[in-house]
Amino acid sequence: MKLTVLTIFFLIGFTVSGQSEKEQITETLNTYIEGFTKGKSELLKEAFYPDSNLHFTDTRNGGDKLRVITGKNFIKNARPREGATARITQIDYDTNAAMARIEIVIPNQVTYTDFLLLLKYEGSWKIIQKAFTAKRNP
């Protein structure tokens, strides 16, 4: 009986802990989304690891070149994106590592699909890498 009760408490504790981690990850992602869509550098700085990088393939003019933007430049050049909407489409995590997918639509301009890697350190989740695609909206 004692073993059954201990097992139940362990499973409940594990589930609550898992929910708590997902909520913390979601909070970091929402901070990123608000910072990106509203052009708030201070929120982006809160969401990103200071030495993070952003990667994308530059397909302008028929190109196919890998480009890298430093997180510092990305944060410094934040600007509002009028009418932008965003949604978190996927979160997966294990212990202190996570990945997320976010879709950001800027009407009459572009749709971004962001693939984010996050790590938990010093008690909080931070985005350490971002790869993204951009598709022109009709």
Show the domains of the chain with their CATH numbers: 2-136 (3.10.450.50)
Who wins on pLDDT, 74 or 18?
74
pTM of the model: 0.84
Q: Report pLDDT for 10.
A: 46
* pLDDT tier for residue 21 given thresholds of 50, 70 and 90: very high
Least confident residue range of 6-10, 50-54, 79-83, 134-138: 6-10
What pLDDT is stored for residue 12 in this prediction? 47
Return contacts of 124-128, CB within 8 angstroms, 24+ apart.
124/24, 124/28, 125/24, 125/25, 125/27, 125/28, 125/98, 126/28, 126/47, 126/48, 126/49, 126/52, 127/28, 127/32, 127/47, 127/48, 127/49, 127/52, 128/48, 128/49, 128/52
Residue-wise pLDDT for 92-120, tens only, equals 999 999 999 999 999 999 999 999 999 99
Where does the pLDDT of residue 1 fall: very low under 50, low under 70, confident under 90, or very high at 90 and above? low
Is the pLDDT at 15 greater than 60? The verdict is no
